[in-house]
A and B are shown apart, each in its own frame.
Chain A
Amino acid sequence: MEYSIYKIIRNTNDRNILVINQYFDVENSPEIQEDKFDIVYLNISNMSNNEVGLLLEKTSPIFSTKCWMKPRFVQTSNTAQLGLLKILTDGVATTPFDELVTQRSEDIFSQMDRLQIKQIANVSTFVAFFIRLCKYSISRGDYTYTSTIIPGLTEGHSALYAAMLFNNEVGSRKEFLEFNQKLLELGYAEPQDFVERVHICPQCKSSHLIYAECCPKCESSNINEEPMLHHFRCANISPESTYIYDDKLRCPKCRQYLHHIGVDYDRPTDVHTCNECGHTFIHTKMKVRCANCGSAHRPSSLQPMDVMRYKYTPEGIHAIISNDALIKIGKDLWFGYSNFEAYLQQLRLFSHTSTINETLYTIRLNIRILDHINETERIHFMRRMHEVFYDYNFSFKNSYFFLSSKIATEESGELQQVILRNIENKLNALQNECPFAHVDEMASIVRAADENIEKYIRRMCEPIYQPDTSL
């Protein structure tokens, strides 16, 4: 195969396959249009893990507009990445002409044609996002769902559906559970069978719990276990270390050598000693820490939870594919939106978790909304904003809107222009729809390498803290 960043090839069934050899932003590249390809094939053998991560996100059949529901395959010899690649991917194939690619794609296309799966405009709320997941699952002929353990990706039992997710940090478990509850209430899904019973954190419902033996006094895990030796002759009993003498066992009390277990000595018990507080004990205490929320619990306070496998009912399938599902969950937040404080916190968190290949960039928009418009219109505008910029971390403060995302470092300059143009186009379209809103300023703030995150946030929020009486 000729080496290029990407290539579109045609297979025996006249399907166009987009073969990507190197990371690039498919979503924001104007030269590739949605109708130019039917199948996505990722040749990731020469990519780093970070590039693979970004590419999988950009070609996601859930999030991406261009790749929406399209079959996606990967080529890899790296089995360590398989756990990651299994998510929202239809298979692993050595070449794009592999029979698996052809066969599986045709199955998916026929399934989608048969069910007439409709696209939702954009993912803007959790429910919309969940429904997309359900649609994806149905389009792949999978009518059941459960929570499971995904090696290398999910921590503990994933939330329901998370098996289908690339980024399982999206949404909280509560929302997943609530959504599932709604599906069951509406008769869109029903329990199929029992999988297993697990224990979950009573606080955040996560099953990723870390069990550790610890000192019953100070709860430190820095404990040491040592066998006790009983010398029959003189009734001395002390830890084995007190007997070690010149690589032999010698009684510290009567100085006799120990020769034969059961005849002149035995090991009646093991004793633990805490290296932190010096406490000695026979029975360790078990402590449980939740890897998700960090809270500590006693094993007895954990909640047992039955993991079930659910299946969609015919009504459920019909409702989901035709966008008729009337589901509303308590905390149906706009997807990607968070209040300003939480948003800043997310940026800080991201700065800790991001790798050298990616950096943070933020688009700051100063949008002036005319005074005379009513509350309904204002909310409509906000909702549209969220819908349009669904794939950004999104927040606003005063009249400023912030859209943050991550970007591959080496492409930041070139890509920025593309992204800015893209955003401009979207904003123009939005302004036509909502003429009462006017974009006064648009700035792009990229985090420089080694820039302190606080400094970056200050730079980003500069105009907010200046006295402004325009609103």
Chain B
Amino acid sequence: MLDFFFHIIDNIVGGFTRNLSWHVLLNTYWFLFFVEFPRYYLLEIIVTCWYKLRYRHRRKEKEIARMKLYIENPLITILAPGKNEGKNIYKLVQSLREQTYKNYEIIIVDDGSDDATPLICRDLEEAGYIDLFIRAHSRGGKASAANLGSFYAKGKYIVHLDADSSLDRDALEKILIPFYMDSQIKAVGGVVKVRNAHDSICTAMQALEYLKTIQVGRMVTSELGLYHIISGAFGAFDVEVLKQVGYWDIGPGLDGDITQKIRKAGYKVYFAEEAICMTNVPVKWNVLFKQRRRWSKSLVRFRLRKHKDIFMPNKNFSFSNMLSNLENIVYDFGFNYVWFAYIISLIFMHTDRLIEIFAIGYIIRMFFGYIGFAIIQWVSERPREERWLAGYVPLSTFYTGYFLRFARLIAHTQELFNFSSYKDPWNPRKTSEVAQSEGI
């Protein structure tokens, strides 16, 4: 038994000593060095440096915008559609009552709940915690619920929240500020962080992932003008523009869809990296796997199919829109298949020393992971509270490197050949059937 372990260790050490030359490393781990590193590490380091350099200037700009916001003091509609979310509503409302920005109305839309949600919400409405509670007796899907609430929104901006999320005290103010920085900004996304990070390894990994892909990743895409998804959990929209683009369309992935529609209408979207929203994430791996498959399907359905016109040289053509879509498609869709081929090729080419290959790959990834974590710590507004997640970085290879990629691979393939998002129970059948027959 011990001999076996010693043999593995010898192999790894031997692998390093044998393959430590840059030439061999780059040749074997080209995917890591030439695909992942430039996009997810190098680019992020450069943009973060740029962001930090302009930090003071930006702060001043934000101060002025904040002043403008408070001078105008517009009414904001906080819209939280959901099904069977009664138990979370009070938490949400409580965090809203703590907000520094006070001029808001709360609209809760119940999308055909079959639990005590209507009772809870009615009580909250009667107690004055909620301004409007609308209940659809039959489920129509998240988009229709959001649209129902939007129809009655009186505010100048709609802040769309997931019912199971809660906000930092100043999150509302922070998400509204960008509207006053640039009049072309008509939609702003906020940072979504994990509230139940301590619940399990699964949630801790997601907390780490959210920091990397949302807080850092979206800051980077926003700086580059390629920001393409305002999270459904926390996003703010100009009502007039929402009306212009026809509010939300059928999901799944309606948050990415509406961002795309706003971009296509010629407006800017912006990421407010200081507007923090906390949400609960799946605690179990199987639930997470299902959720990610659903999210990933929307890439094929919307970016590849519905919004394919973004690549066409028509009168609405915008290079940044094309680039933002292309970046998403290439990295999350195209390179995912490349990665799969790469893994297969590694297995076939190095069958005799697979353990060694994967062990070295793991170490390189872990090294990259800590670089990523350093960026997170640099960007995050609460690095101290998030430092404990450093212990989970070694696991991120398995999580982001294999688990998520695998989930994406399956989802993309299913959607590509089987149009499986139309069968997803996340949407009621009646709407999915119509959407599929209409090809939307």
Contacts and interface: CB of A to CB of B under 8 A. Distances in A.
Interface stretch (A48-56, A263-271, A343-351, A390-398): A263-271
Contacts of A269: 134-137, 148
Given A235-B147, A237-B151, A268 B132 contact: no
A236 B147 contact: yes
Interface stretch (A3-11, A195-203, A226-234, A430-438): A226-234
A237 B430 contact: no
A237 to B, nearest CB: 4
A271 B137 CA distance: 12
A131 B208 CA distance: 88
B435 A233 contact: yes
B135 A282 contact: yes
B440 interface: yes
A232 B147 contact: no
A281 B109 CA distance: 11
Contacts of B147: 235-238
A235 B136 contact: no
Contact of A268 (B138, B433, B434, B438): B138
A108 to B, nearest CB: 58
Contact of A235 (B122, B138, B152, B249): B249
A230 B141 CA distance: 10
Given A235-B147, A236-B247, A268-B137, A280 B152 contact: yes
B277 interface: no
Q: Interface centre among A233, A234, A271, by most B CB within 10 Å? A: A234
A6 to B, nearest CB: 64
A230 B125 CA distance: 24
Contact of B144 (A230, A263, A281): A230
A357 B438 CA distance: 75
A235 B431 contact: yes
Contact of B122 (A234, A254, A266, A283): A283
B438 A238 contact: no
Interface-central residue, A238, A262, A268, A271, by most chain B CB under 10 Å: A268
Interface string A253-292: 1100000001110101101000000001111000000000
B137 A235 contact: no
B112 interface: yes
B152 A282 contact: no
B136 A234 contact: no
A91 interface: no
A216 interface: yes
Contacts of B152: 271, 280
Given A232-B431, A233-B438, A268 B140 contact: yes
B32 interface: no
A236 B135 CA distance: 15
Given A230-B144, A266-B140, A282-B133, A238 B151 contact: yes
Nearest to B140: A230
Interface string B118-161: 00001001100000111111101101110110011000000000
Contact of B248 (A235, A238, A280, A281): A235
Nearest to B250: A235
A287 to B, nearest CB: 14
A349 B93 CA distance: 52
A271 B145 CA distance: 14
B401 interface: no
B78 to A, nearest CB: 15
Contacts of B14: none
Contacts of A253: 246-247
Given A237-B140, A237-B147, A253-B247, A232 B135 contact: no
B273 to A, nearest CB: 30
Given A280-B152, A282-B135, A236 B435 contact: no
B146 to A, nearest CB: 8
Interface in B269-308: none
Given A235-B143, A236-B247, A254-B246, A228 B136 contact: yes
Nearest to B432: A232
B365 to A, nearest CB: 41
Kindly name the residue among B136, B249, B440 whose own CB sees the greatest number of chain A CB atoms within 10 A. Answer: B136
A236 B246 contact: yes
Contact of A228 (B122, B126, B148, B433): B148
B440 A233 contact: yes
Interface in B289-343: none
Nearest to A270: B137
A254 B250 CA distance: 13
Given A230-B144, A232-B434, A235-B143, A266 B248 contact: no
B5 to A, nearest CB: 58
Contacts of B136: 228, 230, 237, 268-269
A116 to B, nearest CB: 63
A228 B249 CA distance: 17
Contacts of B134: 269, 271, 280, 282
Contacts of B126: 216
A233 B434 contact: yes
Contacts of B438: 233
A94 B138 CA distance: 62
A262 B430 contact: yes
Contacts of B440: 233-234
A237 B247 CA distance: 10
Contacts of B431: 232, 235
Interface in A67-101: none
A235 B141 contact: yes
A459 to B, nearest CB: 55
Nearest to A253: B246
A266 B246 contact: no
Interface string B422-440: 0000000011011100101
A253 B147 CA distance: 11
Nearest to A228: B148
Contacts of A254: 246
A266 to B, nearest CB: 6
A252 to B, nearest CB: 9
B370 to A, nearest CB: 44
A235 B132 contact: no
Q: Which of A216, A264, A282, A283 has the most CB of B within 10 A?
A: A282
B435 A232 contact: yes
A269 B109 CA distance: 11
Interface string A350-390: 00000000000000000000000000000000000000000
Closest 9 CB pairs of A and B: A268-B136, A235-B143, A232-B434, A237-B148, A232-B431, A235-B144, A253-B246, A269-B136, A230-B140
10 contacts: A216-B125, A232-B433, A233-B250, A235-B140, A235-B144, A235-B147, A262-B430, A269-B134, A269-B135, A283-B122
Given A230-B144, A234-B249, A264-B434, 15 more contacts: A230-B140, A232-B140, A232-B433, A233-B434, A233-B438, A234-B246, A235-B249, A237-B145, A263-B430, A266-B140, A268-B137, A268-B138, A271-B152, A280-B152, A283-B122
